[in-house]
Amino acid sequence: MRSFLKMPTSLKVGAYVTDVYNLGTGSDVLNKSDVILAINGNDLDSYGQFVHPKYELLNYHHLITSKTAGEKILFDLWREGEKTQVQSEVKNFKASEMLVPYHEYDKQPEYVVTGGFVLQKLTREYLAQWGDDWSGKVSPQLYHYYREQSFKPTSERRDIVILSFVLPMNINLGYSNLGQVVVKKFNGMTISSISDILTAQKLNPESKYDVIEFEMDHPAVVIPREQLPMADMFIQRNYGIQKLKNIDL
């Protein structure tokens, strides 16, 4: 790998950057395929560790988390065949900014229930409901978003919206086994956040149906609009749901 990157044989330090998140310290200056040689003058080995004067080998995270937001961080890099330096500010961000939030304290889950279909924002708390070893129990697609995309929100996608469960009712016969699937479109509108569902429900007023499309070629859901008001009323009463939507706008 070092030979491929045209690093001199004398250069034995450095951790390879395989990916760069959209959130966090260094996200604005680091590139894929960079090799981080040192952070604030502390050499990194290939595992991203440095020698602390008191605690010996520590992970590079300590060099960043020991700083306060706004302080400067200096990265020594090997980039495109030569040494260089880049500087970044230590950044703090809220869990709510993540594509799949890790924690949301003092906050109720965001969801919309329509025709018995429970649409909600994917969070780590939701995944953890599967108990111990939940990573092997949840849908591989949901785990992929959690594992690989949590720190990669974009302006085009701020949430992962899923159909988590179907509350059985006449209006959703045939769909009761559907769950843990990612919503792609609602009434033809691409869904980038849970609040988009409220906008999408108002689209195509001339249509007799609401149509929900999913990723991974899962079959679309078709909900008769004429039956929705009565069905939602029965669902709310029969399943003890205080409100059919809970979204922070």
pLDDT, position 159: 95
Secondary structure (H, E, C), 131-195: CCCHHHCCCHHHHHHHHHHCCCCECCECCCEEEEEECCCHHHCCCCCCCCEEEEEECCEECCCCC
Assign 172 a pLDDT band (cuts: 50, 70, 90): very high
Write down the pLDDT at residue 108: 86
pLDDT at 15 over 80: yes
- Binned at pLDDT 50, 70 and 90, residue 48 comes out as very high
Q: Which of 168, 163, 192 is nearest to 179 (CA)?
A: 163
- Categorize the per-residue pLDDT at 106 as very low, low, confident or very high, splitting at 50, 70 and 90: confident
pLDDT band of residue 248 (cuts 50, 70, 90) is confident
Q: What's the mean pLDDT in 179-206?
A: 96
Tokens 């033809």 map to which residue?
A: 188
**CA neighbours closer than 13 Å in the CB half-sphere of residue 136:** 2
Residue 44 has pLDDT above 80, yes or no: yes
| Whole-number Å distance between alpha carbons of 116 and 177 | 12
pLDDT computed for residue 29 by the predictor:
96
Q: What is the pLDDT of residue 211?
A: 97
Residue 178's pLDDT is 92
Q: What's the pLDDT at 104?
A: 83
Residue ranges and CATH numbers for the domains of the chain are 15-89 (2.30.42.10), 95-246 (3.20.190.20)
pLDDT value at residue 140: 93
pLDDT (0 to 100) of residue 249 = 74
pLDDT of residue 138: 92
The model carries a pTM of 0.86
Q: What is the pLDDT of residue 23?
A: 93
Q: Are 191 and 200 in contact (CB under 8 A)?
A: yes
Residue length of the chain = 249
> Do residues 192 and 121 touch, judged by C-beta distance below 8 A?
no
What is d(CA 186, CA 168) in angstroms, rounded to the nearest whole number?
20
For CA atoms 121, 123, 125, 128, the dihedral sign is positive
Give the DSSP letter of residue 229. H
**Which tokens belong to 223?**
């909900």
SS3 110: coil
Query: Can you tell me the mean pLDDT for 51-78?
Result: 94
